[in-house]
Amino acid sequence: MGKIRDRPNYSIKAIVADCEAAFGCKIGRKKASDGKRVAMNHVYGDWETNFRQLPGYMRALQNCHDRTAVQWKFKKEDGIVHSGRKIFRYVFWHFGAMRTTFLHSHPVVTVDATHLRGAYKGKAIVAVVKTANDRVVPVPATAKLDTKFPNWGVHRYCMEHIRANFLSSVPKKKGLYALSWTVGTELDEAKYAHAWADLTESSQAAARYLQRIPLEKWTLILDGFHRWGTTTSNDVESYNNVLRGDRFLPIRAFI
């Protein structure tokens, strides 16, 4: 239970190895899996109980800090007329302290989803901003963006995802990765045009692929300076990396 508490993603392979090292006997993967489940239930509760406790837990979060906001999304129960019951789909929340932080951040929000592990599958969708001190913090959901962004905000693409997608779609050629990065990040008009010429000369297929994507969505020189020089979703992905072990926890414990 101590190892599970310290490391929720404690693997079955590691459990088998640790048992052999500690007790001199080798157990099977099923026994290791059963032991892990029992330990998880003792420390965090089981998955079903966690979902039942979730509404009360979210209310407790709000009671502890009145600026914490929670929004639930449900769907009606299928196939049952007038049952009055709803089926859980999503819960969105932000912690109250983040509202003040949001007002003093760069006006760029990066969003990414990470898969949850364990008995019930799902996704955690995380949004973060970078503060004036370059700290990455999760941010609130907001009903109106016009106080922070013009025209309700604009959508931009992560350059790393753009490059990964296009490199998997066109014939591979040395230098394309670096050339596409130069096109996406160059702010000097002459150098930007030169980078396009080099890319087109290296691979016309790659140039055609990238030109089909609206250039304002991924090139810094044409994006209207909305992204404040942010080229990738690395900020939110680094935060998801912090949650990597927690993804194995039941839902209430995860939150």
Do 176 and 93 have their domain in common? no
DSSP count for the chain of H helices, then E strands: 11, 5
* Alpha helices (H) in 24-156, listed in sequence order: 29-44, 47-64, 97-103
Range of the domain at 75: 47-152+233-254
In single-letter form, the type of residue at position 141 comes to: A
Asked if residue 228 is part of any domain, the answer here is no
Measure the CA–CA gap between 90 and 128, rounded to whole angstroms: 19
Do 182 and 242 have their domain in common? no
Q: Is the distance from CB of 176 to CB of 206 less than 8 angstroms?
A: yes
Do 182 and 90 have their domain in common? no
pLDDT tens track of the chain, all 255 residues?
A: 888 888 888 889 999 999 999 999 899 999 999 999 899 899 998 888 998 899 999 999 899 887 888 988 888 766 555 566 778 888 888 888 887 788 888 888 888 888 888 777 788 888 898 888 888 888 875 555 555 555 667 888 888 888 888 888 877 778 888 888 899 999 999 999 999 999 898 888 888 888 899 999 999 999 888 888 888 888 888 888 888 888 888 888 888
Report the run of H or E that residue 206 belongs to, with start and end: helix 204-211
Asked if residue 227 is part of any domain, the answer here is no
Question: Number of structural domains, the chain?
Answer: 3
This prediction's pTM: 0.73
Do 76 and 130 have their domain in common? yes
Do 148 and 164 have their domain in common? no
